[in-house]
Chains A and B, each alone.
Chain A
Amino acid sequence: MTDEPTAFLYPFIESEERDVAALLAELADSAEAKILESLTLRTVTLEGCHDQVASIGAVMADRFAAGGRLFAFGNGGSSTDAEGAVDLFRRPPHGRPLPALSLVDDRAVLTALANDVGFDLVYSRQLIAHARAGDMALGFSTSGDSPNLLAGFEEAARRGLVTIGLCGYEGGAMARSEAVQHCVVVRSQSVHRIQEAQAAVLHELWSVVQGHMDQKGGGGS
């Protein structure tokens, strides 16, 4: 994808400075271009990771069926993606609600850990407390390099969790880490476009899991 930069921030010439209609037209053109870019990246990404998402979804469905739980985490905007993922699994629009927990929700726990042991350990320490073999860890990052996600994945892998990472750019350290068993890389240089495509991947993953849960029967809604 062609991405980011900063060219879009300065697309105007000085003579248009007082012409609101021209500015609005330029803004709308810019928005249309970015919308198309986002849709294209999402389509390309979903096609590219189709088989990978199918196999991750099958593994997750098996784990959910056996009583496994999903733990999701991420920093900043990605923390909201983790929160959104948990909400989708636990409170789905249709299909079967599934047990999922976000490790970014409890500010008492987060600030206690950040203050006492450091921000790099805020997810791994929670996994030490909560995770059991058979559970799942799902981490969102755009860079793939966040130390606290990497530490979380390492702890999760040690404890027998299935580990799933969503990242961007070229995948960063998450793509190279043996602790991240399934790493889906959104190949873009734009943080925004990466997050939009990660949401699409997550939604697709949820759909695949739901499809398997349907076949497993029982407990559906």
Chain B
Amino acid sequence: MMGTMQAPALPDLVHGTADDLAAASLSLARHFSAGATMWCVAPDWPSHGRHVAVEFVHPVIVGKRALPSVSVDGPDVAAGLRQLVRPGDVLLVVSAADTVGVTDLLLRAGAWGLLSLWLGAGPRPVSPRADHTVWLEAADPVVAARGGDMVLLYHLLWELTHVVLEHRGLIDEPEPAACADDVCVTCSDEGRITEVRAVLDNGLVEVVSEGRAERVDASLVDAPVPGSLLLVHAGVAISEIRGEAP
């Protein structure tokens, strides 16, 4: 008997996770095909960010396409990414649900026009701000991160993405619009999340929304600064968003 072995709870690991991986891989392949770079962030486990990136850049199967994927870590990941990303790129986060800074980063990714994928383990995020969440709910996050489950998730993401890339006819299909509560302008009148780029005169700010710059009236918001996340409705910033729950 393996006294200290903590095997993943098999049924929970398999069911649902496989479907979520499939959907995430389809979106990821479509974005790569359209020229995306994938930016990989794993705040508590930076080695996983590096492992995902090298997986895509230098495939283990000779002849598979090298796909642009970059690991980013360090003290202010958002500041670095803000300069690097282009609309249509992908943010991949590997973390537990409660890792500090992740929700903030995912909200910004939406404003920057990125597809977001969130791989994790342990208690599932209550309202994940990612387009795709692939979760190992039954696993202890630390055991998953260090015992092979987390690396399995992104190995499979890589494999399935390459399967999809073999299917040109399906890659060019339009992506269905993502919808997540108050961030979806097409199916809700709650508003969309934007990031302030510059504070202008007369209560106006320049924000970026889904990767595009625009000017909005921010006179209802108390002292926005570059980097502030604002909820914008009908050209007016109605509140400031705090990424992390207190």
A contact residues vs B (CB 8 Å cutoff): 4, 6, 8-12, 17-20, 23-32, 34-36, 38-39, 42-43, 46-47, 50, 76-77, 79-81, 83-84, 87-88, 93, 191-192, 195-200, 202-204, 206-208, 211
Contacts and interface: CB of A to CB of B under 8 A. Distances in A.
B206 to A, nearest CB: 37
A80 B50 contact: yes
A24 to B, nearest CB: 5
Nearest to A22: B170
Contacts of A47: 2
A35 B13 contact: yes
Contact of B151 (A17, A25, A195): A195
Contact of B14 (A17, A32, A202): A32
Interface stretch (B4-12, B179-187, B193-201): B4-12
B155 interface: yes
- Main SS class of interface, B: helix
A31 B18 contact: yes
5 contacts: A23-B164, A42-B148, A83-B50, A84-B45, A204-B4
B143 A80 contact: no
Contacts of A28: 18-19, 21-22
Given A18-B169, A24-B26, A211-B4, A30 B51 contact: no
Nearest to B16: A28
A30 B47 contact: no
Interface in B154-197: 155-156, 159-160, 162-164, 166-170, 173
B55 to A, nearest CB: 7
Contacts of A43: 7
Contacts of A26: 163
Contact of A9 (B46, B60, B166): B166
Contact of A46 (B2, B8, B142): B2
Nearest to A45: B148
A199 B54 contact: no
Q: Which of A32, A87, A88, A197 has the most CB of B within 10 A?
A: A32
A200 B148 contact: yes
